[in-house]
Homo-oligomer: A and B are copies of this chain.
Amino acid sequence: MSDVSKLAGVSKMTVSRVLADPALVSEETRQKVMKAIEKLGYVPDRIAGSLSSRRTNFITAILPTLTNSNFADSAQGLANALRAADYQLLIGYTMYDLQEEERVIRTMMERRPDAIVVAGTVHTKMASEVLMRAGIPIVEIWDVPEHPIDHAVGFSNYEVGRNAAKYLISLGFKRIGALGSRADGDVKDWRGESRLLGFGAALREAGIADDLIIREGSAPVSYDHGAKTLGSLLAKAPDVEGIFAVSDISAVGALMECHRRGIHVPDQVSILGFGDFDIGRQCYPAISTIRVDAQMIGRKAGELLLSILEAEKGADVPEGARVDVGFELIVRETTKRLGG
Protein backbone atom coordinates (compact mmCIF):
# COMPACT_ATOMS: atom_id res chain seq x y z
CA MET A 1 0.00 0.00 0.00
CA SER A 2 2.80 2.41 0.73
CA ASP A 3 4.29 1.46 -2.65
CA VAL A 4 1.03 2.42 -4.26
CA SER A 5 0.83 5.70 -2.40
CA LYS A 6 4.36 6.60 -3.44
CA LEU A 7 3.79 5.77 -7.08
CA ALA A 8 0.54 7.72 -7.08
CA GLY A 9 2.08 10.57 -5.15
CA VAL A 10 -0.56 10.59 -2.43
CA SER A 11 -0.78 9.49 1.18
CA LYS A 12 -1.64 5.97 2.26
CA MET A 13 -4.86 7.36 3.65
CA THR A 14 -5.96 8.37 0.19
CA VAL A 15 -5.22 4.92 -1.21
CA SER A 16 -7.23 3.44 1.61
CA ARG A 17 -10.13 5.74 0.78
CA VAL A 18 -10.08 4.87 -2.90
CA LEU A 19 -10.50 1.23 -1.91
CA ALA A 20 -13.03 1.71 0.86
CA ASP A 21 -15.16 4.58 -0.37
CA PRO A 22 -14.11 6.01 -3.73
CA ALA A 23 -16.72 8.75 -3.54
CA LEU A 24 -14.65 10.46 -0.89
CA VAL A 25 -11.81 11.07 -3.30
CA SER A 26 -11.62 13.41 -6.28
CA GLU A 27 -11.96 11.88 -9.70
CA GLU A 28 -8.42 12.83 -10.65
CA THR A 29 -6.74 11.43 -7.56
CA ARG A 30 -8.77 8.28 -7.83
CA GLN A 31 -7.55 7.70 -11.37
CA LYS A 32 -3.93 8.11 -10.33
CA VAL A 33 -4.36 5.69 -7.48
CA MET A 34 -6.21 3.12 -9.56
CA LYS A 35 -3.48 3.23 -12.15
CA ALA A 36 -0.81 2.67 -9.52
CA ILE A 37 -2.77 -0.23 -8.01
CA GLU A 38 -3.14 -1.79 -11.44
CA LYS A 39 0.51 -1.33 -12.33
CA LEU A 40 1.83 -2.81 -9.11
CA GLY A 41 -0.73 -5.60 -8.97
CA TYR A 42 -1.50 -4.47 -5.46
CA VAL A 43 -3.80 -6.73 -3.44
CA PRO A 44 -5.01 -5.16 -0.20
CA ASP A 45 -4.30 -7.10 2.98
CA ARG A 46 -7.58 -7.69 4.76
CA ILE A 47 -5.80 -9.19 7.75
CA ALA A 48 -4.25 -5.84 8.48
CA GLY A 49 -7.50 -4.12 7.66
CA SER A 50 -9.38 -6.38 10.05
CA LEU A 51 -6.98 -5.75 12.89
CA SER A 52 -7.26 -2.06 12.42
CA SER A 53 -11.00 -1.78 11.90
CA ARG A 54 -11.99 -4.46 14.39
CA ARG A 55 -14.18 -6.07 11.74
CA THR A 56 -13.10 -9.21 9.96
CA ASN A 57 -16.06 -9.77 7.65
CA PHE A 58 -15.79 -13.39 8.63
CA ILE A 59 -18.92 -15.25 9.56
CA THR A 60 -18.50 -18.61 11.22
CA ALA A 61 -20.85 -21.46 10.33
CA ILE A 62 -20.75 -24.53 12.54
CA LEU A 63 -22.44 -27.61 11.12
CA PRO A 64 -22.52 -31.30 12.02
CA THR A 65 -21.13 -32.30 8.63
CA LEU A 66 -21.11 -31.07 5.07
CA THR A 67 -21.70 -34.55 3.72
CA ASN A 68 -25.38 -34.18 4.46
CA SER A 69 -27.15 -32.50 1.60
CA ASN A 70 -29.44 -30.60 3.95
CA PHE A 71 -26.57 -28.91 5.78
CA ALA A 72 -24.68 -28.40 2.55
CA ASP A 73 -27.76 -26.61 1.22
CA SER A 74 -27.92 -24.40 4.29
CA ALA A 75 -24.24 -23.57 3.94
CA GLN A 76 -24.73 -22.69 0.30
CA GLY A 77 -27.80 -20.56 1.10
CA LEU A 78 -25.84 -18.75 3.76
CA ALA A 79 -22.85 -18.21 1.50
CA ASN A 80 -25.07 -16.89 -1.28
CA ALA A 81 -26.75 -14.41 1.02
CA LEU A 82 -23.45 -13.15 2.37
CA ARG A 83 -21.44 -13.13 -0.80
CA ALA A 84 -22.74 -9.84 -2.17
CA ALA A 85 -21.94 -8.09 1.10
CA ASP A 86 -18.38 -9.37 0.95
CA TYR A 87 -18.48 -11.67 3.95
CA GLN A 88 -16.44 -14.84 3.97
CA LEU A 89 -17.77 -18.01 5.55
CA LEU A 90 -15.60 -19.89 8.02
CA ILE A 91 -17.03 -23.40 8.10
CA GLY A 92 -16.43 -25.82 10.95
CA TYR A 93 -17.59 -29.44 11.37
CA THR A 94 -18.65 -31.11 14.59
CA MET A 95 -19.60 -34.61 13.46
CA TYR A 96 -22.60 -34.37 15.79
CA ASP A 97 -20.23 -34.26 18.76
CA LEU A 98 -20.89 -31.60 21.39
CA GLN A 99 -17.34 -31.71 22.73
CA GLU A 100 -16.05 -31.21 19.25
CA GLU A 101 -18.50 -28.37 18.77
CA GLU A 102 -17.13 -26.67 21.86
CA ARG A 103 -13.60 -27.10 20.56
CA VAL A 104 -14.52 -25.72 17.15
CA ILE A 105 -16.31 -22.72 18.66
CA ARG A 106 -13.30 -21.86 20.80
CA THR A 107 -10.92 -22.12 17.87
CA MET A 108 -13.20 -20.01 15.75
CA MET A 109 -13.34 -17.25 18.36
CA GLU A 110 -9.63 -16.68 17.81
CA ARG A 111 -10.43 -15.65 14.25
CA ARG A 112 -12.70 -12.91 15.55
CA PRO A 113 -15.75 -13.52 13.35
CA ASP A 114 -18.36 -10.76 13.08
CA ALA A 115 -21.12 -13.29 13.73
CA ILE A 116 -21.69 -16.99 14.31
CA VAL A 117 -24.22 -19.34 12.80
CA VAL A 118 -24.47 -22.66 14.56
CA ALA A 119 -26.65 -25.65 13.75
CA GLY A 120 -28.53 -26.77 16.78
CA THR A 121 -29.70 -25.36 20.04
CA VAL A 122 -28.09 -27.81 22.41
CA HIS A 123 -24.51 -27.03 23.36
CA THR A 124 -22.14 -27.83 26.18
CA LYS A 125 -22.37 -25.40 29.08
CA MET A 126 -18.97 -24.02 28.20
CA ALA A 127 -19.91 -23.56 24.53
CA SER A 128 -23.11 -21.72 25.45
CA GLU A 129 -21.19 -19.40 27.70
CA VAL A 130 -18.57 -18.67 25.09
CA LEU A 131 -21.31 -17.87 22.59
CA MET A 132 -23.22 -15.66 25.01
CA ARG A 133 -20.15 -13.68 25.94
CA ALA A 134 -18.91 -13.39 22.40
CA GLY A 135 -20.51 -10.01 22.00
CA ILE A 136 -21.45 -10.69 18.39
CA PRO A 137 -24.71 -11.80 16.77
CA ILE A 138 -25.36 -15.54 17.12
CA VAL A 139 -27.89 -17.39 15.00
CA GLU A 140 -28.87 -20.91 15.94
CA ILE A 141 -30.33 -22.73 12.96
CA TRP A 142 -32.32 -25.91 12.33
CA ASP A 143 -34.55 -25.47 15.35
CA VAL A 144 -36.45 -22.65 17.04
CA PRO A 145 -36.06 -22.95 20.80
CA GLU A 146 -38.17 -20.92 23.20
CA HIS A 147 -35.13 -19.00 24.34
CA PRO A 148 -32.38 -18.87 21.80
CA ILE A 149 -28.94 -17.68 22.88
CA ASP A 150 -29.52 -14.75 20.55
CA HIS A 151 -31.40 -15.37 17.29
CA ALA A 152 -32.82 -18.54 15.75
CA VAL A 153 -33.86 -19.56 12.25
CA GLY A 154 -35.37 -22.97 11.77
CA PHE A 155 -38.45 -24.98 12.55
CA SER A 156 -39.74 -27.09 15.38
CA ASN A 157 -38.29 -30.57 15.15
CA TYR A 158 -40.64 -31.54 17.96
CA GLU A 159 -43.63 -30.49 15.85
CA VAL A 160 -42.22 -32.40 12.90
CA GLY A 161 -42.29 -35.52 15.07
CA ARG A 162 -45.80 -34.78 16.28
CA ASN A 163 -47.04 -34.27 12.75
CA ALA A 164 -45.37 -37.44 11.58
CA ALA A 165 -47.20 -39.40 14.27
CA LYS A 166 -50.51 -37.68 13.59
CA TYR A 167 -50.23 -38.47 9.91
CA LEU A 168 -49.53 -42.14 10.51
CA ILE A 169 -52.38 -42.26 13.01
CA SER A 170 -54.68 -40.65 10.44
CA LEU A 171 -53.84 -43.51 8.11
CA GLY A 172 -55.58 -45.83 10.58
CA PHE A 173 -52.51 -47.47 12.16
CA LYS A 174 -52.35 -48.64 15.75
CA ARG A 175 -48.91 -50.21 15.77
CA ILE A 176 -46.55 -47.35 15.01
CA GLY A 177 -42.77 -47.20 15.35
CA ALA A 178 -39.81 -44.97 14.66
CA LEU A 179 -36.17 -45.35 13.62
CA GLY A 180 -33.58 -43.08 15.20
CA SER A 181 -30.08 -42.98 16.59
CA ARG A 182 -28.86 -43.26 20.15
CA ALA A 183 -29.78 -40.42 22.45
CA ASP A 184 -27.02 -40.79 25.00
CA GLY A 185 -23.38 -39.77 24.98
CA ASP A 186 -21.77 -36.78 23.34
CA VAL A 187 -22.21 -37.82 19.75
CA LYS A 188 -25.88 -37.29 19.28
CA ASP A 189 -28.30 -35.85 16.79
CA TRP A 190 -30.38 -33.62 19.04
CA ARG A 191 -32.67 -32.52 16.28
CA GLY A 192 -33.47 -36.11 15.39
CA GLU A 193 -34.06 -36.79 19.06
CA SER A 194 -36.50 -33.87 19.25
CA ARG A 195 -38.43 -35.35 16.39
CA LEU A 196 -38.62 -38.68 18.21
CA LEU A 197 -39.75 -36.95 21.39
CA GLY A 198 -42.56 -35.13 19.57
CA PHE A 199 -43.43 -38.36 17.82
CA GLY A 200 -43.75 -40.26 21.08
CA ALA A 201 -45.81 -37.49 22.67
CA ALA A 202 -48.36 -37.48 19.85
CA LEU A 203 -48.60 -41.26 19.99
CA ARG A 204 -49.37 -41.15 23.70
CA GLU A 205 -51.90 -38.37 23.24
CA ALA A 206 -53.76 -40.67 20.87
CA GLY A 207 -53.59 -43.52 23.31
CA ILE A 208 -51.10 -45.47 21.25
CA ALA A 209 -48.12 -47.25 22.77
CA ASP A 210 -44.80 -45.47 22.24
CA ASP A 211 -42.66 -48.53 22.85
CA LEU A 212 -41.66 -49.02 19.23
CA ILE A 213 -39.31 -46.07 19.01
CA ILE A 214 -35.94 -47.57 18.20
CA ARG A 215 -32.78 -45.67 19.12
CA GLU A 216 -29.71 -47.44 17.82
CA GLY A 217 -26.36 -46.49 16.34
CA SER A 218 -24.92 -43.01 16.29
CA ALA A 219 -25.39 -40.02 14.00
CA PRO A 220 -24.87 -39.43 11.15
CA VAL A 221 -27.39 -42.01 10.09
CA SER A 222 -26.79 -44.28 7.06
CA TYR A 223 -28.68 -46.65 4.76
CA ASP A 224 -27.27 -49.42 6.84
CA HIS A 225 -28.65 -47.78 9.96
CA GLY A 226 -32.12 -47.84 8.40
CA ALA A 227 -31.80 -51.50 7.49
CA LYS A 228 -30.56 -52.54 10.94
CA THR A 229 -33.01 -50.53 12.99
CA LEU A 230 -35.81 -51.85 10.84
CA GLY A 231 -34.61 -55.34 11.77
CA SER A 232 -34.74 -54.44 15.45
CA LEU A 233 -38.16 -52.95 15.11
CA LEU A 234 -39.49 -55.98 13.26
CA ALA A 235 -38.03 -58.31 15.87
CA LYS A 236 -39.97 -56.40 18.48
CA ALA A 237 -43.14 -55.89 16.53
CA PRO A 238 -43.59 -58.00 13.37
CA ASP A 239 -47.03 -56.46 13.07
CA VAL A 240 -45.87 -52.84 12.86
CA GLU A 241 -47.98 -50.84 10.41
CA GLY A 242 -46.42 -47.41 10.19
CA ILE A 243 -42.81 -46.29 10.61
CA PHE A 244 -41.25 -42.83 10.88
CA ALA A 245 -37.52 -42.58 10.19
CA VAL A 246 -35.62 -39.53 11.48
CA SER A 247 -34.02 -39.17 8.06
CA ASP A 248 -34.83 -40.14 4.48
CA ILE A 249 -31.47 -41.89 4.46
CA SER A 250 -32.69 -44.29 7.15
CA ALA A 251 -36.06 -44.50 5.44
CA VAL A 252 -34.46 -45.63 2.19
CA GLY A 253 -32.32 -48.16 4.04
CA ALA A 254 -35.43 -49.50 5.75
CA LEU A 255 -37.26 -49.64 2.44
CA MET A 256 -34.46 -51.66 0.84
CA GLU A 257 -34.47 -54.02 3.80
CA CYS A 258 -38.19 -54.50 3.31
CA HIS A 259 -37.53 -55.42 -0.33
CA ARG A 260 -35.00 -57.99 0.79
CA ARG A 261 -37.36 -59.47 3.35
CA GLY A 262 -40.22 -59.58 0.88
CA ILE A 263 -42.27 -57.08 2.84
CA HIS A 264 -44.31 -54.90 0.56
CA VAL A 265 -44.24 -51.13 1.07
CA PRO A 266 -46.78 -49.62 1.48
CA ASP A 267 -49.21 -52.56 1.33
CA GLN A 268 -47.82 -54.25 4.44
CA VAL A 269 -46.08 -51.34 6.12
CA SER A 270 -45.92 -47.58 5.55
CA ILE A 271 -42.65 -45.67 5.81
CA LEU A 272 -42.34 -41.92 6.32
CA GLY A 273 -38.98 -40.18 6.16
CA PHE A 274 -37.62 -36.72 6.88
CA GLY A 275 -35.56 -34.26 4.89
CA ASP A 276 -36.78 -34.77 1.34
CA PHE A 277 -33.42 -35.98 0.10
CA ASP A 278 -32.93 -36.52 -3.63
CA ILE A 279 -32.62 -40.21 -3.12
CA GLY A 280 -36.01 -40.50 -1.49
CA ARG A 281 -37.58 -38.74 -4.43
CA GLN A 282 -35.90 -40.96 -7.00
CA CYS A 283 -36.04 -44.37 -5.40
CA TYR A 284 -38.87 -46.80 -5.97
CA PRO A 285 -41.34 -46.56 -4.40
CA ALA A 286 -40.71 -42.86 -3.76
CA ILE A 287 -40.44 -42.02 -0.07
CA SER A 288 -43.15 -40.01 1.65
CA THR A 289 -41.35 -37.43 3.70
CA ILE A 290 -41.36 -34.18 5.62
CA ARG A 291 -39.61 -31.43 3.80
CA VAL A 292 -37.70 -28.48 5.16
CA ASP A 293 -36.26 -25.73 2.99
CA ALA A 294 -32.64 -26.07 4.07
CA GLN A 295 -31.31 -23.50 1.67
CA MET A 296 -33.89 -21.01 2.89
CA ILE A 297 -32.74 -21.52 6.47
CA GLY A 298 -29.24 -20.54 5.41
CA ARG A 299 -30.46 -17.62 3.35
CA LYS A 300 -32.71 -16.24 6.09
CA ALA A 301 -29.94 -16.55 8.65
CA GLY A 302 -27.66 -14.66 6.28
CA GLU A 303 -30.21 -11.94 5.62
CA LEU A 304 -30.88 -11.55 9.32
CA LEU A 305 -27.19 -11.13 10.00
CA LEU A 306 -26.77 -8.62 7.21
CA SER A 307 -29.64 -6.55 8.56
CA ILE A 308 -27.84 -6.43 11.89
CA LEU A 309 -24.25 -6.05 10.75
CA GLU A 310 -24.91 -3.57 7.99
CA ALA A 311 -27.38 -1.48 9.96
CA GLU A 312 -26.75 2.25 9.95
CA LYS A 313 -26.02 3.67 13.35
CA GLY A 314 -29.27 4.37 15.13
CA ALA A 315 -31.29 2.13 12.86
CA ASP A 316 -33.22 -0.35 14.90
CA VAL A 317 -31.95 -3.83 14.70
CA PRO A 318 -33.91 -7.05 15.23
CA GLU A 319 -33.41 -8.39 18.72
CA GLY A 320 -33.71 -12.03 19.59
CA ALA A 321 -35.40 -12.83 16.29
CA ARG A 322 -37.05 -16.23 15.99
CA VAL A 323 -37.76 -17.16 12.40
CA ASP A 324 -39.79 -20.32 11.83
CA VAL A 325 -39.56 -21.49 8.22
CA GLY A 326 -41.95 -24.36 8.86
CA PHE A 327 -42.04 -27.73 7.16
CA GLU A 328 -44.23 -29.63 4.75
CA LEU A 329 -45.57 -33.17 4.60
CA ILE A 330 -45.00 -34.69 1.19
CA VAL A 331 -47.03 -37.81 0.59
CA ARG A 332 -45.52 -40.01 -2.07
CA GLU A 333 -45.63 -43.76 -2.47
CA THR A 334 -44.42 -45.35 0.75
CA THR A 335 -47.39 -44.44 2.90
CA LYS A 336 -50.94 -45.61 2.43
CA ARG A 337 -54.19 -45.80 4.37
CA LEU A 338 -54.98 -49.15 6.00
CA GLY A 339 -56.84 -51.24 3.47
CA GLY A 340 -56.81 -48.23 1.13
Which residues of chain A have a CB within 8 Å of any CB of chain B? 41, 43-48, 50-51, 56, 65-67, 69, 72-73, 75-76, 79, 86, 88-91, 93, 106-107, 109-112, 133, 223, 252, 256, 278-279, 282-284
The reply to whether B66 and A252 contact each other, CB–CB distance below 8 Å, is no
What's the Cα separation between A106 and B42 when bound, in Å? 11
Is A133 a contact of B279 with CB atoms below 8 Å? no
CB-CB under 8 A from A284, the residues of chain B are: 283-284
Across the A-B interface, the 5 shortest Cβ-Cβ residue pairs? A46-B110, A279-B279, A66-B72, A43-B109, A47-B50
Are A76 and B93 also in contact (CB < 8 A) when A133-B41, A223-B282, A284-B283 are? yes
A67, B56: Cβ atoms under 8 Å?
A: no
Report the separation of the CA atoms of residues A73 and B110 in the bound assembly, to the nearest whole angstrom: 26
CA distance in complex: A195, B329 (Å): 40
Bound-state Cα–Cα, A112 to B86, Å? 16
Q: Give Cα A298 to B67, complex, Å.
A: 13
What CA separation (Å) do A32 and B236 show in the bound complex? 59
What is the distance, in angstroms, from A175's C-beta to the closest C-beta of chain B?
A: 27
Q: 13 A-B residue contacts at CB 8 Å?
A: A41-B133, A44-B110, A45-B112, A47-B47, A66-B76, A67-B69, A67-B73, A76-B93, A79-B91, A89-B91, A90-B90, A279-B282, A282-B283
Closest partner residue, chain B, to A79 (CB atom): B93
- In whole angstroms, how far apart are the Cα atoms of A7 and B11 in the complex? 40
The smallest beta-carbon distance between A276 and chain B, in angstroms, is: 14
CB within 8 Å for A91 and B91 given contacts A110-B46, A133-B41, A283-B284: yes
Bound-complex Cα distance A111 to B43 (A): 10
Interface centre among A44, A67, A75 (most CB of B within 10 A): A67
**Which B residues are in CB contact (< 8 Å) with A279?**
278-279, 282-283
A274 to B123, CA, bound (A): 39
8 additional contacts, CB 8 Å, given A43-B106, A47-B51, A67-B69? Answer: A47-B47, A47-B112, A67-B73, A67-B76, A86-B107, A91-B91, A278-B279, A279-B283
* Cross-interface CB contact of A67 among B41, B48, B72, cutoff 8 Å: B72
Q: Contacts A90-B90, A284-B284 given: A110-B45 contact, CB under 8 Å?
A: yes
Report Cα–Cα, A253/B106, bound state, in Å: 44
Contacts of A106 in B (CB 8 A): 43
Query: Which residues of B lie under 8 Å from residue A66 when comparing CB positions?
Result: 66, 72, 75-76
Does the CB pair A282–B110 fall under 8 Å? no
Decide if A111 touches B46 in the complex (CB within 8 Å). yes
Choose among B73, B76, B111, B283 the residue that contacts A47 (Cβ–Cβ < 8 A). B111
Q: Are B90 and A88 in contact (CB under 8 A)?
A: yes
